[in-house]
Amino acid sequence: MSIASQRLASNRWADSALPWAVPIVLILLWQLAVSFGWISSRIMPAPLAVIEAGWRLTASGEIFYHLGVSFQRAALGFVIGGGIGLALGLISGLSHWGERLLDSTVQMIRNIPHLALVPLVILWFGIDETAKIFLVVLGTAFPIYLNTFHGIRNIDSNLMEMARSYGLSGWPLFTSVILPGAMSSILVGVRYSLGLMWLTLIVAETISASEGIGYLAMNAREFLQTDVVVLAIVLYALLGKLADEAARFLERRWLRWHPAYVKGD
């Protein structure tokens, strides 16, 4: 018993520490490469320089300001986009007609690069917040659409048949069978969306922005401030980690019944 609990403790330690192993090794290698002059620090800043830039922007509060602005845009876009994606995914997933009508169109729109779309977006929505949020909506809707669709399709048809023959339909069928059955796939979609949310924001924030993390990154790039560029990349990576943790949290919460999502070995 005591061995088992020891093993558990060491597992927990490994669980929280190991995910950072690869990033830390990468950063050490990078610092070494710059320190030993294998890479010129003129073109690739050392981690310490990036930390310094980070410190500078943190001390001035600038970074929080940019993050805050971006976060608002991201959140609003995600809520709208996620909602649309979910709704369309449900329509396509639940009705054969819906699929025929919608799926092709959605797949086509999904494939249009935001970068190419920017001129049209400006035409339609101007250069203010609406345009930026529209792009985030566009970016976040599709992963949730596709995974909702896929999740619904892959619900055990025997269970659907059972539920229908037990008199379930409409909302009860949705909450009792469809949503939980598709949930693990929808959450994968959420993971994507949370990532794409930041990705599209960088394009969105090239549209006449003077705040936001995408602005910070592109502005720095334009002025060849590599330390800030790399800082922004690190920030994005951390935001990705955060989004991932959020998705994991939801998975643990909503998929408790699912053997694959229960903690432990």
Partner 1 sequence: DELRIGYQRSSTLMSVLRNNNSLEEKLAEQGVTIDWYEFTSGLPMLESLNVGNIDISADVADTVPIFAQAAGADLTFYASEAPSPAGQALIVLEDSDIETLEDLAGKRITVTRGAGNHYLLIAALESVGLTLDDVRVSYLPPADARAAFAQGNVDAWIAWEPFLSTSRATLETRTITDGSDGLASYTRYYLAATPYVEANPEVISTVYEALNEAGNWVNENPEEAAELLAPLWGNLDPDIVQTANLNRSYDVQPVTLEGLGEQQKIADAFFAADILPHAVDATDSPIWQPGE
Partner 2 sequence: MSFSTYTETTTPVKESAASSARTALSSSKGGTHLHLKGVVKKFGELEVLKGIDLEIEKGQFIAIVGRSGCGKSTLLRLIAGLDRHNAGTLSADGHADLASTDIRLMFQDDRLLPWKSVIDNIGLGLKGDWKPRALRVLEEVGLSDKADVWPAKLSGGQRQRVALARALIHQPQLLLLDEPLGALDALTRIEMQRLIERLWQQHGFTVLLVTHDVQEAVQLADRVIVLEQGQIGMDKAVDLARPREQASADVSAIEGKVLKRVLGQ
Smallest separation (angstroms) from partner 1 to the CB of 204: 12
Shortest gap between Cβ of 139 and partner 1 (angstroms)?
Answer: 18
Given the rule CB under 8 A, which residues bind partner 2? 158-159, 161-163, 165-168, 172, 176-177, 180-181, 183, 255, 257-259
| Spatial CA neighbour of 197 closest among 81, 69, 66 | 81
Q: Are 139 and 152 in contact (CB under 8 A)?
A: no
In angstroms, give the least distance from the CB of 93 to partner 2: 17
Measured distance CA(193)–CA(246) in Å, rounded = 12
- Whole-Å CA distances, 50 to 9, 55, 85, 121: 35, 8, 37, 34
Please, which residue, 50 or 152, has the CB nearer to partner 2? 152
168 touches which of a copy of itself, partner 2, partner 1, none (CB within 5 to 8 A by kind)? partner 2
CA angle 20, 255, 166 (to 5 degrees): 165
Task: Give the list of residues 6+ apart from residue 60 with CB closer than 8 angstroms, or none.
Answer: none
Subset of residues 19 to 38 that bind partner 1, contact rule: CB under 8 A: none
For 245, the token pair is 């943790």
Q: Which of 183, 197, 220, 239 is the binder for partner 1 (CB under 8 A)?
A: 220
In the three-class reduction of DSSP (H, G, I as helix; E, B as strand; rest coil), residue 225 is classed as: coil
Extract the tokens encoding 99. 């699929």
Q: Given the structure tokens 């909503």, which residue do they identify?
A: 254
DSSP code, position 40: -
User: Site for partner 1 (CB under 8 A): how many residues?
Assistant: 26
Specify the residue, 72 or 175, whose C-beta has the smaller distance to partner 2: 175
Instruction: Copy the structure tokens of residue 209.
Output: 């922005």
Specify the stretch interacting with partner 1 by CB under 8 A; choose among 71-79, 145-153, 163-171, 220-228.
Answer: 220-228
Residue 42 contacts which entry, partner 2, partner 1, a copy of itself, none (Cβ below 5-8 A, type-dependent) = partner 1
Q: What's the rounded Cα separation, in Å, for the pair 42 and 27?
A: 18
Shortest Cβ 158–a copy of itself spacing (Å): 9
Show contacts with partner 1 in window 180-209 (CB under 8 A). 206-209
- What are phi and psi for residue 244, nearest 5 degrees? -65, -40
Q: Residues, the chain, total?
A: 265
Q: Which is nearer to a copy of itself, 53 or 217 (CB)?
A: 217
* Residue 107 interacts with, from partner 2, a copy of itself, partner 1, none (CB under 5-8 Å by kind): a copy of itself
Q: Token digits for 57?
A: 């922007």
x/- track of binding to partner 1 for residues 37-66 (CB under 8 A): ---x-xx-----------------------
Binding region for partner 1 (CB under 8 A) out of 11-19, 122-130, 138-146, 257-265: 122-130
Query: In terms of CB distance, is 133 or 213 closer to a copy of itself?
Result: 213
Reference 262, options 155, 19, 251, 184; nearest CA is 251
